[in-house]
Chain A
């Protein structure tokens, strides 16, 4: 098997919304398998659009996406992709418990009636344990703190056991301690071979855990190893004249704390 068929391949994606807003233009990038890749750009720069395109929630006007060499539809059917939504996209008043939510990660493995079997229950229990949410499994999801909410949905992605995990702005509204905890879990998942794509506008955290970075503003402006990508030039091109000097030099002088595990 050729290794370049694995990971996420984005080819020439353009997306125009029905209000004629051009959200993405000829965006191409490659997310290497077994890495944590950060998707970085200003708000309104098309991060969410690219995310939704990769997940198959919207169909692009042009271009293709492949997940481990498969079409999005096939990848979905084979449970290759898990998605951790933004906090804003979840109805926290919905009458479901943490356990219910994590069990939803297993639906794709169940028969039509979605009756959980032993393996499903085991995976749910393990995932809840790993994110430290086992004691909260009967809680209604609205009764959780910001960090616990994130961990509950991360547990769902883990229970789904998919090779690719996408996280949409996972650090908004969580404290530093929780952020560390989530980053730690992501590093563990990466070392187990998962491919992880994280969208964020929080530049400071990128260099602490992302092996690779994709800079996005309407199109992909740069991609590669985080240390190489985070240059003054690239960042000012992406964010357009924002005072980022301090941040980028901080990033490039960091001895990368993450060891890329791909070959």
Chain B
């Protein structure tokens, strides 16, 4: 019934490689969830790389751990706990920075590791069925229906907020002074961007885990940034590389029995390396050629 392939014994092995996992329900789920997560992360990653907030992404992702543990212990949705602690950490970072003479990176380092350590301690002391390994490294193959719903809500909210505020957010990343000068509420934009950052991390928690989520939040945008000078193209390239990595990574992890989150991030990193070396304008090769042999491109073709 569910194997039209049986009637086509000479089916291309490639097609079979693609279709066979789809017979398992959990794989279908894992594929579309990771593609969705990949899209949300890729969109936000364009803003995060341009704003220079990669470290902030790392901080928020680690800071959600105690929130997840507490949420499970209280029987609340994990997304709620994760969001509250993730966003809360950014507020505390902002407060500590304004009250001390420390530089931002030091404050971020102190706060997020503190939150993370607190989460680890909590996880061992609070009786709950939280699998720490799944929080740390993700478990998209075993994602539960309620986790999928929470992922969808967090991700969709992120996409809608960014879609509605995309121009203001871009202006805020590019020239916050001008944004202020024309009467926009830059404080609100700062917290909007932080909230969607926290929401995106909630979205990606089940797929990539908190250790790897920062890669999904930075790498697609960084790859795209090397390939184009236009923001709309950057968005498209970022989403494309991210979704391809997510889907291919999920397949590979199934066939080769590798951790899904790790495989996805390895693929993203490979794509980044390719872009870094071969990007037509900002790649290492073309920059070298342009520097040493003016007009090299035209002569070599």
Residue ranges of A at the interface with B (Cβ–Cβ < 8 Å)? 18-19, 55-57, 73, 76-79, 81-83, 85, 89-91, 94-97, 100, 104-105, 107-108, 112-114, 140, 142-143, 156, 160
Tell me how far the C-beta of A170 lies from the nearest C-beta in chain B, rounded to whole angstroms: 15
Binding site secondary structure of chain B: helix
A107 and B167 in contact, given A19-B101, A160-B182 (Cβ under 8 angstroms): yes
- Give the number of residues in B that approach A within 8 Å (Cβ atoms): 25
Closest 3 pairs (CB-CB, A-B): A108-B182, A76-B183, A140-B229
B177 touches A55 (CB 8 A): yes
Q: How many A-B residue pairs have CB under 8 A?
A: 72
| Also in contact, A57 and B234, with CB within 8 A (given A18-B101, A95-B229) | no
14 residue pairs of the A-B complex, CB under 8 angstroms, read: A18-B98, A77-B183, A79-B183, A83-B178, A85-B177, A90-B175, A94-B173, A95-B231, A107-B168, A108-B182, A112-B164, A114-B168, A140-B229, A160-B182
Report the minimal beta-carbon distance from A48 to chain B, rounded to whole angstroms. Answer: 12
- Given A107-B182, A108-B183, A113-B167: A95 and B228 within 8 A (CB)? yes
Question: For the complex, is B184 an interface residue (Cβ under 8 Å from A)?
Answer: yes
Residues on B with C-beta less than 8 A from A77 are 183
Give the residue name and chain of the B residue nearest to A156 (CB): B178
In the complex, chain B residues whose CB is within 8 Å of the CB of A91: 50, 174
Give B174's nearest chain A residue, CB to CB.
Answer: A94
Question: B171 an interface residue at 8 Å Cβ cutoff?
Answer: yes
Cα A70 to Cα B108 in complex, Å, equals: 39
| Nearest CB in chain A: distance from B290 CB, A | 13
Nearest-Cβ distance from residue A166 to partner chain B, whole angstroms: 9
Residues of B contacting A100 in the complex (Cβ-Cβ under 8 angstroms): 231
- Assess whether B85 is interfacial by the CB under 8 Å rule: no
Inter-chain CA distance A160–B171, complex, in Å, is: 15
Q: How far is B164's CA from A104's CA once the two chains are assembled, in angstroms?
A: 16
Taking a contact as CB atoms under 8 Å apart, the answer to whether B181 and A76 are in contact is yes
| Contact B175–A85 (Cβ < 8 Å) | yes
Q: How distant is the Cα of A78 from the Cα of B164 in the complex, in angstroms?
A: 23
Interface centre among A55, A56, A94, A143 (most CB of B within 10 A): A94
Instruction: Determine the distance from Cα of A108 to Cα of B167 in the docked complex, in whole angstroms.
Output: 12
B125 CB within 8 Å of chain A: no
Chain A CB within 8 A of B251 CB = no
CB A178 to nearest CB in B, in angstroms, measures 22
Chain A neighbourhood of B178, CB < 8 A: 83, 85, 104, 156
**B87 is an interface residue with CB less than 8 A from chain A:** no
- B181 and A82 within 8 A (CB): yes
Query: B292: CB under 8 A from chain A?
Result: no
Across the interface, which residues of B come within 8 angstroms of A56, CB to CB? Answer: 180-181
B299 at interface, CB cutoff 8 A: no
Query: Closest residue of chain B to A82, judged by CB?
Result: B181
Q: Does B291 contact A (CB under 8 A)?
A: no
Give Cα distance in the complex from A129 to B208, angstroms.
50
B252 nearest CB across to chain A (Å): 31
| A199 → B minimal CB distance (Å) | 14
The 8 Å CB contact of A83, one of B168, B177, B183, B229, is B177
Q: For the complex formed, measure the closest distance between the CB of A56 and the CB atoms of chain B, giving whole angstroms.
A: 6
Residues in B whose Cβ lies below 8 Å from that of A76 = 180-183
**Chain B min CB distance to A146 (Å):** 18
- Complex formed: what's the CA distance from A83 to B183 in Å? 12
Nearest CB on A from B184, distance (A)? 7
CB pair A95 B182 closer than 8 Å: no
Q: Which residues of B contact A89 (CB under 8 A)?
A: 177
Contact string against A for B residues 159-170, beta-carbon threshold 8 Å, 1 for contact and 0 otherwise: 000001001101
Complex CA gap A160/B178 in Å reads 11
Interface residues of B in 163-204 (CB under 8 A from A): 164, 167-168, 170-171, 173-175, 177-178, 180-184
Residues of B within 8 A of A78 (CB): 183
Distance, CA A49 to CA B182, complexed state (A)? 19
Q: In the bound complex, what is the Cα–Cα distance between A112 and B185 (angstroms)?
A: 12
Which residue of chain B has the shortest Cβ distance to A108 in the bound complex?
Answer: B182
